[in-house]
Chain A
Amino acid sequence: EDQVTQSPEALRLQEGESSSLNCSYTVSGLRGLFWYRQDPGKGPEFLFTLYSAGEEKEKERLKATLTKKESFLHITAPKPEDSATYLCAVTQNTGNQFYFGTGTSLTVIP
């Protein structure tokens, strides 16, 4: 069964303490892998799209990487305002459906 799994479920970091979030996928025929940020009570906000293994993208303190099995979202020197739930999602070549992982709730402590 196609699946998207994120780990850890929750992560608490001190301000400035770098870390990585993981998104593992087993879907066949990956078309794209997406990272979103979601704040409480709001819709997801787009961060990155990755299409092929080896691809990397950066935005401020965030860097996303992709392999054939997983993606990492690296957070360098996080700030309290980076606290949010980070969602990973994938689409397949066979359709436009968009399947989300379980999310990682990140809390950055000042």
Chain B
Amino acid sequence: GAVVSQHPSRVICKSGTSVKIECRSLDFQATTMFWYRQFPKQSLMLMATSNEGSKATYEQGVEKDKFLINHASLTLSTLTVTSAHPEDSSFYICSALITAGFNYGYTFGSGTRLTVV
């Protein structure tokens, strides 16, 4: 089945530094990928939608200059948290849209636990 590989699974960084999270589709081409943020015991909140070769579409309230998304190829999307602060500590998850005829679905990465100290 379609697999999305997300790295790193955990990262600890100092306040003010930037962190890059990668999301790769391993056996399919992902023209559309999504980035989510999840706080403890809460549901996933969509941050942005990225389409290969074009600018990402951000959800309301998400700072595009802080959360840089790049989807330069059909198999790789990256999320860079710039000038991270403790309030950016969260669980970040990527997802890829898979289409196969009429049916379609979404497969998720394993998530990245970001801790900013």
A residues sitting closer than 8 Å to B (CB atoms) are 32, 34, 36, 41-46, 49, 87, 89, 96-103, 105
- Chain B residues bordering chain A, tally (CB within 8 A): 25
**CB-defined contacts of B103 to chain A, threshold 8 Å:** 49
**Nearest residue in A to B111 (C-beta to C-beta)?**
A43
Q: Is the interface of B mostly helix, strand, loop or mixed?
A: strand
| Docked pose: A45 CA to B46 CA in angstroms | 17
Q: Determine which of A34, A102, A105 lies in contact with B106 in the assembled complex, contact meaning CB atoms within 8 Å.
A: A34
Some 17 contacts from A to B, beta carbons below 8 A apart, are: A32-B104, A41-B111, A41-B113, A42-B110, A43-B93, A43-B95, A43-B109, A43-B110, A44-B108, A46-B108, A87-B43, A89-B106, A98-B106, A100-B43, A100-B45, A100-B46, A103-B43
Q: Point out the residue from A32, A46, A49, A98 that lies within 8 Å of B46, measured CB to CB.
A: A98
State in angstroms the CA–CA spacing of A2 and B93 once bound together: 23
Interface contact A46-B105, CB-CB below 8 Å: yes
Which 7 A-B pairs give the minimum distances between C-beta atoms?
Answer: A43-B108, A43-B111, A100-B43, A100-B44, A44-B108, A43-B110, A102-B43
For residue A99, which residues in chain B have a CB less than 8 angstroms away from its CB? 46
Question: Quick one: closest B residue to A44, CB to CB?
Answer: B108
Considering the complex, give the chain A residue whose CB is closest to the CB of B105. A49
Query: For A36, what are the chain B residues with a Cβ–Cβ distance below 8 Å?
Result: 108
Query: Other CB < 8 Å A-B pairs besides A44-B44, A44-B93, 5 of them?
Result: A46-B105, A49-B105, A98-B34, A102-B42, A105-B41
A41 contacts across to B, CB distance below 8 A? 91, 111, 113
Q: Within 8 Å of chain A (Cβ to Cβ): is B19? A: no
Residue B49 CB within 8 A of the other chain:
yes
Chain B residue contacts of A34, Cβ below 8 A: 105-106
Q: Is B13 an interface residue (CB 8 A)?
A: no
Interface string of B83-107 (1 = CB under 8 A from A): 0000000010101010000011111
- Of all chain A residues, the one with the shortest Cβ separation from B9 is A41
Residue B25 CB within 8 A of the other chain? no
Question: Is the CB of B82 closer than 8 A to any CB of chain A?
Answer: no
* Chain A residue at minimum C-beta to C-beta distance from B91: A41
